[in-house]
Amino acid sequence: MFGLPVDTKRKAFKTRTSPGNAINPVWEEEAIVFKKVVLPTLASLRIAVFEEGGKFIGHRIIPVSAIRPGYHYISLRNEKNQALTLPTLFVYVEVKDYVPDTFAGESGQQQQQQQQQQQQQQQQQQQQADRVFFLPLRRHRGVIQSHPLRQPDGAEGQSAGCAHAGGGRRGGGRQRGV
């Protein structure tokens, strides 16, 4: 890494040679961690790949401010910074905020408090949703309720229409609201 004198770490991190697979080498080593970068806008990360004998294969210089978390293919370049077609690296990048060791305990407490607040908010939202779900029907407007109408005296066998539902069907049986 290159940047401010505090951020610069030259040749600090090296991986071992991957034996036996020159086409698709895999390095299963511990992650390379830069614990603290003071000024990421000025810092750059250089990744270089060499053969076992020390012959240069390719490199890539990436501004730290342009690095995004996740899986990425990094295509390598030659000594003249021209893109090479085949040599690429498949890397996983994880970016975290720097927390000094003196505040590490406090940040854990803050996380617990935030989790408790989120749980309380979720419980309140669930209670509100339950209240809304079980509202009495009489509060809802626009619901048409139908009641069986009494048949007038002497009008057996005939049924009356449903007047409050805008007419209704004629015929036997009870009327239903929409």
- The token pair that represents 39 in the structure block: 């000024």
The structural domain count of the chain equals 1
Query: Which one-letter amino acid corresponds to residue 26?
Result: V
pLDDT of residue 161: 46
Residue 169 lies in a domain: no
* DSSP 8-state assignment for residue 2: B
Question: 75 is in which domain, residue-wise?
Answer: 1-10+27-100
For residue 58, with 0-12 CB atoms within 10 Å meaning exposed, 13-18 middle and 19 or more buried, which class applies? buried
Per-residue pLDDT of the chain (178 residues; tens, 9 = 90+): 555 665 556 666 667 776 666 667 776 777 777 777 777 788 888 888 888 788 888 999 888 888 888 898 889 999 898 988 888 888 888 887 776 666 665 556 677 778 888 888 888 877 766 555 444 444 445 555 544 545 555 555 444 444 444 444 454 455 555 5
Q: Is 164 helix (H, G, I), strand (E, B) or coil?
A: helix
Residue 52 lies in a domain: yes
pTM (two decimals):
0.47
Q: What would the DSSP string read from start to end of 98-150?
A: ---GGGHHHHHHHHHHHHHHHHHHHHHHHHHHHHHHT--GGG-TTPPP--PPP
Residue 73 lies in a domain: yes
pLDDT of residue 77: 92
Residue 17 lies in a domain: no
Q: Which of 87, 1, 3, 95 is nearest to 50 (CA)?
A: 87
- Identify the CATH number of the domain in which residue 47 sits: 2.60.40.150
Beta bridge partners of 61: 46
Residue 42 lies in a domain: yes
